Amino acid sequence: MNEGLGGRSARAHHHFFSGSYGQTFKFDIVLITLTMLLLGFGLIVLYSALGQSWSGLLNQAIRLCLGLGCLMLASQLRVSTYYRWAPTVYAGTIMLLFAVAVFGVSNKGSQRWLDLPGLPSFQPSEFLKISLPLIVGWYITTRNFKLKFFDYLALILIVGLPTGLVFLQPDYGTALILLIGVAAMLFLCGVRLRWFGAGLVLVAISAPIIWNFVFRDYHRRRIITLFNPERDPLGAGWNIIQSKTAVGSGGLSGKGLFEGTQSHLDFLPEGHTDFIIAVIGEELGFVWCVALLCCYLLIFSRLMYLSTTATNGFGYVVGTGITVIFFGYVLVNVAMVLGLLPVVGLPLPLVSYGGSSAITTMAAFGVALAVCTHKQDLEK
């Protein structure tokens, strides 16, 4: 037994109790360590961004503990459990998205939140970072990775329905990231490039229609302002200007923790959520921003390693989708803060304040660990 444990330690997979589902519970020490470092760093920065509010910090800490619990629980489940329940989880997410369209809570021009009796408000679109990779992986696996013409049409419907509902909320950033994640899954499964080319042609054809009839006025202003924020410095360009000012004023080493002026004097909007990295840049400087991005890159690399070494095809597809979607959130958020993309209202995973994003991200990590590291017959 000691030799077996030593072998597993060398592979960074540790077992600490026998699960009630008939298999040993695993976790990856590298991924868990990086995640814990990110969470700890995020809490320190949030304490400053929240104006040194202990109540806000405690609320976030409780959410993160819940997220870690979800990670551990998700890691314990069998691969076959995820395979069997993938359609049900997907259907449940679709129902929640329809509920948002009918009963959702509007905030700042978007209807993304659901407020159910007895539950804290949450954002159902966050569940798609789990349910969408699961359903795409399930469908591809049921076809033995041999997709025909009608299979592609089915996948377009499977992916297009939830993505379209998210797009109409409107939540363009999340919709874009989900599409990129699915595209990566299909590419790694050997889908021919001509299908991606057809998709790009479809996007190019539909772009004028989306611009004129789907985008709202303030979304068009955000895109136009992206190229010249000074055109509307007190309106659509305000967020980008203040964010760049915060990051630039921090220099290499920053002004010091709790010493940021843009955030603490309320020049920087949403400093504790969407623009948290601007607070980091101002108070801790360029060096800590790079360190943070390196941590994200290490998590991405570890998840990709686990996905590409998965013991089953289902795990390979699902793990890849979860990984790309996670890193997509990071890239889009950073690009938004730096003014490289329009402001789309996306949090920085595991660092920004909020429960829905943090909990679902850690649950997704648990799913990736389960489907990529457990040796299971999908039909069990």
Domain ranges of the chain: 2-373
**Rounded distance between C-alpha atoms, residue 368 and residue 320, angstroms:** 8
Residue 214 has pLDDT above 60, yes or no: yes
**Rounded distance between C-alpha atoms, residue 54 and residue 57, angstroms:** 5
pLDDT band, very low/low/confident/very high, at 215 (cuts 50, 70, 90) = confident
132: its two tokens:
């969408």
More confident of the two residues 275 and 203: 275
DSSP output for 306-338: HHHT-SSHHHHHHHHHHHHHHHHHHHHHHHHHT
153: its two tokens:
């049409």
- Backbone φ and ψ of 113, nearest 5°: -105, 150
Residue 10: what pLDDT?
37
Mean pLDDT score of the chain, rounded to an integer?
86
pLDDT band, very low/low/confident/very high, at 147 (cuts 50, 70, 90) = confident
Residue pair 26/78 in contact (Cβ under 8 Å)? The answer is no
> Which residue type occupies 318?
V
Residue 34 has pLDDT above 60, yes or no: yes
Kindly report, residue by residue over 160-174, the tens digit of the pLDDT.
999 999 998 888 889
Residue 296: what pLDDT?
98
Residue 16 has pLDDT above 70, yes or no: no
Residue 87: what pLDDT?
97
Residue pair 89/130 in contact (Cβ under 8 Å)? The answer is yes
pLDDT band, very low/low/confident/very high, at 190 (cuts 50, 70, 90) = confident
Phi-psi region of 69 (alpha: psi -120 to 50; beta: other; left: phi over 0): alpha
Residue 196 has pLDDT above 90, yes or no: no
Tell me the percentage of the chain whose pLDDT exceeds 70. 91
pLDDT band, very low/low/confident/very high, at 286 (cuts 50, 70, 90) = very high
Residue 376: what pLDDT?
60
Kindly report, residue by residue over 234-274, the tens digit of the pLDDT.
777 888 889 999 999 999 999 999 888 888 888 888 888 99
**Rounded distance between C-alpha atoms, residue 336 and residue 322, angstroms:** 21
159: its two tokens:
């992916």
Kindly report, residue by residue over 311-358, the tens digit of the pLDDT.
889 999 999 999 999 999 999 999 999 988 888 889 999 999 998 999
More confident of the two residues 343 and 380: 343
Crossing angle between the packed helical segments 313-337 and 356-373, to the nearest 10 degrees? 150
pLDDT average, residue stretch 18-28: 53
Residue 19 has pLDDT above 50, yes or no: no
Instruction: Find, among 57, 13, 83, the residue nearest to 353 by Cα.
Output: 57
Residue 15: what pLDDT?
41
**Rounded distance between C-alpha atoms, residue 377 and residue 78, angstroms:** 9
Kindly report, residue by residue over 69-90, the tens digit of the pLDDT.
999 999 989 999 999 999 999 9
Instruction: Find, among 198, 306, 288, the residue nearest to 250 by Cα.
Output: 288
